[in-house]
A and B are shown apart, each in its own frame.
Chain A
Amino acid sequence: MISFNNVYKRFPDGFDALKNIAFTIESGEMVYITGHSGAGKSTLLKLIAAIERPTSGNITVNGQNISKLKKSAIPFLRRNIGLVFQDHKILFDRNVFDNVMLPLQISNFNTAMAARRVRAALDKVGLLKREKARPITLSGGERQRLCIARAVVHRPSILIADEPTGNLDVDYARGIMDMFASFHQVGVTILIATHDKNLLQDTPYRTLALNQGQLAI
């Protein structure tokens, strides 16, 4: 469960990115966050993973108050969250397999079991045959899928995606969205920030619309 309570975020330059945000997302729910660029979508997602800290207000993730979280506790919060970035943040100095392995190495995973999990995650996103490939040889869509595999390999209870279909063509974007839907079906809480109107047409999922830092109801 994720809940925001009177959350404000003001950046050091005085810009108010988020104003009085309040909402609750139940466990296992899938939610879209929409709005123009600069509306505060990314900031909102970053607050959940404690990449940014709120100026005031309370954020609760899985019963933990994030706004009061100590710096040393942040890694353990993030291990429960899968992050998918618009710019992928893939490491180009290692192959596809090792990129997906990273979250498991970080959380002390038994190596044999970890390899099985990495292959399972790569299979889910359709990259199993490219496990030895260098990320530089992957297309934009494949890189995005690699990023998704890395986000789900440690089986987080929350998956957060910031513009996951940013630069992809419509068919590719559909495929990615179907992938998220399948994670949703196995009980993962999913938040997707997007400004892609095509995706939002007749979607069965809840939509939170942001407008200049405020929730439009």
Chain B
Amino acid sequence: MNAWLTQHWQAFTLTLKHFIHTPFTNALSIIVIGTAFSLPVGVYTLLENIQLHSATTGSTPQLSLFLKLNTNKNQALAIKKKLEEQALIDSFKFIPKDQALKQLAQNSDLARVIGNIGDNPLPHAFIVTSQHAPANELEKLRTTMQDWPGVEYVQFDSDWAKRLDAMLNIGRLAVAMLATLLSVALVIVIFNTIRLQILTKREEIEVSKLIGATDGFIQRPFLYFGALQGLAGGLTAWLIIVIGVQTMNDELADLAELYTSNFQLEHLDLKDSISLLFFSSWLGWLGARMSVASYLWKIEPK
């Protein structure tokens, strides 16, 4: 076991040396892999950000509780009490019908129309902000409140959230397709690199076979090389994303200031970063494995 580990370690360090000593050709393949990979990873990062921000700022679940027109103060107070008892509700605000009309009148186009109406046609309303909860629980809350006496209509605007979700799903599908295609490209790039390496190391492979090297011993450096190249490609993609996000954030800071918000893009989190590096290394290994299977075993000493 120890000897086996030593052999792996030797193969790995030898490959690493070889890897570092051919910087130029190596850098080319790594940049190709890295840029190709940064595309789906970049889109993924953007989608993650959209979801993150829509969850924290945009999609604060709001329900509008419109009371019947003939509701009196006592009924309104009863409803207020009931709202206070609901665990799901974070906060709520009462908007009396006079205030609602005043707000509406601030819109100059409507002001004249409103002026022509004699009685205030608007109902009292509660604007309820609930805690974050799954859509079905909010829906349940809506139906409960709908049944309260004095409540005319409860509006829960979940449509835009559903639409956003659907769009994010399409985006994710696009990322998956892009990632699949570019993964194939990555495997091919590494397949070709390893093929060239096998051809240039033909002599060494022949001699190794003649002096009793097993297939495992001979293929090991090539597999390590493929995995290392995949890893370096993944790392490049990761760096591109980090730099990209940083650059965007510098610009976003200016924009966000105008909107008095502190909106910033998030970097890939640790889990996603590690997955990216593992996946790209695995793809590199796979490309090398395929190359070994189709070229290495054809070399036999004569």
Contact = CB atoms under 8 A, between A and B. Distances in A.
Q: Do A and B come from one complex?
A: yes
Interface of A: 49, 51, 72, 75-79, 81, 83, 89, 91, 93, 102-103, 105-108, 110-111, 150, 154
Contact of B211 (A72, A93, A103, A108): A103
A78 B10 contact: no
B207 A106 contact: no
B210 A91 contact: no
B213 interface: yes
Contacts of B6: 108, 110-111
A111 B3 CA distance: 10
Interface of B: 3-4, 6-7, 10, 203-204, 206-215, 217, 301-302
Nearest to A105: B10
Contacts of B4: 108
Contacts of B301: 51
A106 B213 contact: yes
A49 B301 CA distance: 11
Contacts of A49: 210
B217 A89 contact: no
A51, A77, A106 — which one has the most chain B CB atoms within 10 A of its CB? A106
26 contacts: A51-B210, A51-B301, A72-B214, A72-B215, A75-B214, A76-B212, A78-B209, A78-B210, A78-B211, A81-B212, A89-B206, A89-B207, A89-B210, A91-B204, A91-B207, A102-B208, A102-B211, A103-B211, A106-B208, A106-B212, A106-B213, A107-B212, A108-B4, A110-B3, A150-B211, A154-B211
Contacts, number: 53
A105 B211 CA distance: 11
A150 to B, nearest CB: 7
B169 to A, nearest CB: 49
Name the residue among B4, B7, B210, B217 with the largest chain A CB count within 10 angstroms: B210
A51 B203 contact: no
Chain B interface main SS type: helix
A172 B215 CA distance: 37
Given A51-B301, A108-B6, A75 B213 contact: yes
Contacts of A93: 204
A75 B212 contact: yes
A108 B212 contact: no
Nearest to A109: B3
Nearest to A103: B211
Contacts of A150: 211
A106 B210 contact: no
Contacts of A111: 6
A81 B160 CA distance: 77
Contacts of A105: 7, 10
Contacts of A81: 212
A91 B4 CA distance: 24
Contacts of A78: 209-212
Most chain B CB neighbours (cut-off 10 Å) among A79, A81, A103, A105: A105
B206 A103 contact: no
A106 B203 contact: no
Contact of B210 (A72, A83, A154): A83
Minimum-distance CB pairs A-B, first 4: A78-B212, A79-B212, A108-B3, A106-B213
